[in-house]
Structure 1
Amino acid sequence: MPSTPSTPSASTPEPASTPARPAPPGLWRDPDFRGLWTGQTASQLGEHASLVVLPLFAVLTLHASPGELGVLRAVGQAPILMLSLFVGAWVDRWRTRTTMVLTDLGRALALGAAAVAGLFGLLGLPALLVLAFTVGALSVFFDVAYQASVVRLVPRDQLVRANSALEGSRSAAQIGGPALGGTLVSLLSAPIAAAWSALFFALSFLSIRRIRRAESIPERAEHSPRVWRRIHEGLRFVTGDTVLRTVCLASAAFQFSFAALMTVYLLFLPRELHLSATVVGLALTAAGPGALLGSLLAARLPRRFGYGKVLVCAAAVGDGIFLCVPALHGSSAATITALLAIGFVFGCGGQLVNVTIMAVRQTVTPATMQGRTAATITFVGMGTTPLGSLLGGYLAQEWGLRTSLLTTAAAMLLSPALMSLSPLARMDRDLPPSPDAPQTATHAKH
């Protein structure tokens, strides 16, 4: 499900996109899109590396307990719950390029400082908690801004291709990030691994700065709505739309269960299966090639079989594959091969869902509401992850790793079940009409 790794002001006609210009002959000939794609790739690579580095450092170096690991993951995810709605209201009135550049710079500085602290032996659990919260907060700004920027940079008829390309970049990051993070922690140290993540965020900063297309900032009315009213407008818009409401519920179910599962999974691999940090990184990396394939399939399958069928089937297969993990024992080649296959299937199914859902969401949302809609869905969906991480740590401590893993894997199937009972499952081969399009007879019929 999308992170799931939007809406506008009612008082003024906000031009959330730039002045119209002829569509470029292709996405890759557009230097602005290339800058966004390169920056997104580097940013995701740094983020996925750090998501492995910090927990592995806590488990292998600080010997963190299951409860402490759950707290660390929850602290890193807490900004989603605390900030998403505010960020969505702000991003709709800011230049997305400026937001992404500043957050990349902030994450690079935070991880760079952590690397220096680690080299001097000052990177303890309290410092990790502060670092995780800081990087998580900045990531909320970046994620909402880049999702809103896609609609401003790309013509509507190329949204699926653009999202497929961007999700493909995230897949590439999933391939290299966990493997790089696990290998650096295993062979060198967590501070060195953190420094590498900082370099990737710096590369993203430089790439996104290359975007030259001017963005129109909405003029502020003399009595423009306060932030709370804008947040309320976003919440009301999402809850009032059946498709977006279903996306929220399914995303919340998935993210809660997946956060709990990953907390247990990161303990299960090194402590129950006795895998090294490098192998753990490889197991997590397996989702990357699968997600890369999922991105390619997402540009074709929905138009052939229908958006609804692809969403439900991909979610059911991708989420259900984790039910196989508790049956594994030992660190044999067969176990490692099975983990790689499971990660590949999960990545492929998850990416199909991510790309398809994002295209549907962007299509049914007015241009002036993109930031708040993305933030509202992020708040409802990803906002459950801190609670899921805490639950995963509690279950691992009280029930044992194998039982907890089976329970959390089964809970992930609630997400495709919710989608199968909603209008999402009945969507055909064509996307719904855009609310920004002229109201033709066909649109009125829809």
Structure 2
Amino acid sequence: MPSASSAVSDSGRPAPSSLWRDRDFRRLWVGQTASQLGEHTSLLVLPLFAVLTLDASAGQLGVLRAVGQAPILLLSLFAGAWVDSWRTRTVMVLTDAGRTLALGAAALGGLLDLLGLPALLVVAFTVGALSVFFDVAYQASLVRLVRRDQLVRGNSALEGSRSAAQIGGPALGGALVSLLSAPIAAASGALFFALSFLSIRRIRHRESIPERSEHPPRTGRRIHEGLRFVVGDTSLRTVCLASAAFQFCFAALMTVYLLFLPRELHLSGTEVGLALAATGPGALLGSVLAARLPDRFGYGVVLVSAAALGDGAFLCVPALHGSAAVTVPVLLAVGFVFGTGGQLVNVTVMAVRQTATPDRMQGRVAATITFVGMGMTPLGSLLGGFLAQEWGLRTSLLVTAAGMLLSPVVMALSPLARLGRSLPACAEGGRDRTPPFA
């Protein structure tokens, strides 16, 4: 009988006995960690630059966030079809290089006093567009790199690195904006993307590219196949609806939140960064729990309860008043709970999605779910800016926080809530496959 180290993975490569003994997996992990650090740094730096330096209004901040998120709506489906036809390593390397150049140009423009709101909009759109391709590619790359029985552990490790980025990125970005300048903070993001480029470029595994032929299907047909597969699968269809409800309300909440912290609670850039970074330690805990809890309680129970706990944590924020000595610890606790619940949902949903999808469609299915879910974020950001102007910050924060609870409600009312301790095998047809129930 062959040992684990001599086994062969689904992609045809030797399977190491441990993920961490695989040099290519370690390179992917380092690259994805650095990429997430760059992304989370820039996600805070650009809005803080607009609010603290350019004195942006609520409407302008909503537009800035919507522009950065618009590529999700515009490009996700195309990115999925493209990633399924290319090596994921190539896609990740090219997008890292592009984001390095974009943030590097922003840093230079800021140092020369040329970084106004129009330039911020261009940078936000460029980084957002390239991030769409990177995120789809890294999710598809794991399936091509490891065995299917290693997906939960692999996702847990990669999502754990994203948690580390959630800790370091906002805290670093907020500190650099407060202590030095926005251009220096933008430059730190560029350096992280450059590190990701160097690490992922060293991956040596030669991927097999699904569905490459002399006359490949047109992009529109490939996109349609991905949409049809997701719509025809009960679990994936529910994930799309729950994700859309959450992302729409969360984008609105974050637009209000980024105004509420400095203007209503009078927090500094560093304190804002710490409040946002608090989701990171929680997400690290969520990554660890995600590798254990579904096997004990069932995937459905974990999904619904984690989403309800994490999303509900923000309901106490609108009631906060007083000095930073009082409000910051509460915000840290809220961020920690939200990070724990959110990461449990992220890892569990990703395992459900990857297991239910054939290898040849991993990129398109990931992109379709991203398109439906994250594609709502530009509209949510615009709504958040509108509500903040019309209703005030506290009322808007309460309404958007309550709206996030739509996501666990959608999952609780669906067959997804009854997923058991094991996940269903992939069904090529994707036609209303009934999951195994506990």
Of 408, 417, 421, which residue of structure 1 is paired with 2:400?
408
Of 341, 346, 353, which residue of structure 2 is paired with 1:349?
341
For 1:332 and 1:444, locate their aligned partners in 2 and report how far apart those are by CA, in whole Å. 49
- C-alpha displacement of 1:215: 1.1
Mapped contact 1:263–1:389 kept (Cα < 8 A): yes
2:131 corresponding residue in structure 1:
139
For 1:304 and 1:444, locate their aligned partners in 2 and report how far apart those are by CA, in whole Å. 15
Mapped contact 2:49–2:177 kept (Cα < 8 A): yes
1:162 corresponding residue in structure 2:
154
Aligned pairs, number: 424
Of 169, 172, 179, which residue of structure 1 is paired with 2:171?
179
Identical counterparts, % of pairs:
81
Asked if residue 193 in structure 1 is aligned to residue 174 in structure 2, the reply is no
- 1:105-138 Cα shifts (integer Å, max 9, x gaps): 1000110011000000000000000000000000
Asked if residue 301 in structure 1 is aligned to residue 293 in structure 2, the reply is yes
2:302 corresponding residue in structure 1:
310
- 1:244-283 aligned at under 5 Å gives the runs 244-283=236-275
- C-alpha displacement of 1:22: 3.1
For 1:103 and 1:195, locate their aligned partners in 2 and report how far apart those are by CA, in whole Å. 17
2:324 corresponding residue in structure 1:
332
Q: Which amino acid aligns with 1:434?
A: C
Mapped contact 2:265–2:324 kept (Cα < 8 A): no
Mapped contact 1:274–1:330 kept (Cα < 8 A): no
Specify the SS of the correspondent of 1:383.
Answer: helix
Q: Which amino acid aligns with 2:166?
A: Q
Q: TM (normalized to structure 2)?
A: 0.95
Specify the SS of the correspondent of 2:425.
Answer: coil
Specify the SS of the correspondent of 1:354.
Answer: helix
For 1:70 and 1:399, locate their aligned partners in 2 and report how far apart those are by CA, in whole Å. 15
Of 206, 220, 233, which residue of structure 2 is paired with 1:214?
206
Specify the SS of the correspondent of 1:174.
Answer: helix
1:3 corresponding residue in structure 2:
none
For 1:370 and 1:56, locate their aligned partners in 2 and report how far apart those are by CA, in whole Å. 35
Asked if residue 119 in structure 1 is aligned to residue 111 in structure 2, the reply is yes
- C-alpha displacement of 1:332: 3.4
2:386 corresponding residue in structure 1:
394
1:13 corresponding residue in structure 2:
none
For 1:329 and 1:260, locate their aligned partners in 2 and report how far apart those are by CA, in whole Å. 21
Specify the SS of the correspondent of 2:14.
Answer: coil
Mapped contact 1:254–1:414 kept (Cα < 8 A): yes
Considering Cα pairs closer than 8 Å and 6+ residues apart, tell me whether 1 or 2 has the greater RCO: 1
Greater shift, 217-226 or 379-388, is seen at: 217-226
Q: Which amino acid aligns with 1:315?
A: A
2:417 corresponding residue in structure 1:
425
1:4 corresponding residue in structure 2:
none
Mapped contact 1:49–1:177 kept (Cα < 8 A): yes
Asked if residue 97 in structure 1 is aligned to residue 89 in structure 2, the reply is yes
Greater shift, 260-269 or 216-225, is seen at: 216-225
Asked if residue 20 in structure 1 is aligned to residue 12 in structure 2, the reply is yes
Regions of 4+ moved over 6 Å: 443-446
1:359 corresponding residue in structure 2:
351
- 1:397-436 Cα shifts (integer Å, max 9, x gaps): 0000000000000000000000001111000111112347
- C-alpha displacement of 1:19: 4.6
- 1:57-76 aligned at under 5 Å gives the runs 57-76=49-68
Q: Which amino acid aligns with 2:108?
A: V
- 1:68-120 Cα shifts (integer Å, max 9, x gaps): 00000000000000000011011101000000000001000110011000000
Q: Which amino acid aligns with 1:196?
A: S
For 1:242 and 1:178, locate their aligned partners in 2 and report how far apart those are by CA, in whole Å. 36
Specify the SS of the correspondent of 2:246.
Answer: helix
1:6 corresponding residue in structure 2:
none
For 2:40 and 2:401, locate their aligned partners in 1 and report how far apart those are by CA, in whole Å. 21
1:8 corresponding residue in structure 2:
none
Mapped contact 1:18–1:216 kept (Cα < 8 A): no
1:240 corresponding residue in structure 2:
232
Q: Structure 1 residues 303, 141: CA separation in 2 closer, same or farther (over 3 Å shift)?
A: same
Mapped contact 2:307–2:341 kept (Cα < 8 A): yes
Of 56, 78, 83, which residue of structure 1 is paired with 2:75?
83
Q: Structure 1 residues 387, 445: CA separation in 2 closer, same or farther (over 3 Å shift)?
A: closer
Structure 2 residue runs of 5 or longer lacking an equivalent are 1-8, 429-434
For 2:345 and 2:80, locate their aligned partners in 1 and report how far apart those are by CA, in whole Å. 22
For 2:361 and 2:322, locate their aligned partners in 1 and report how far apart those are by CA, in whole Å. 50
For 2:368 and 2:199, locate their aligned partners in 1 and report how far apart those are by CA, in whole Å. 28
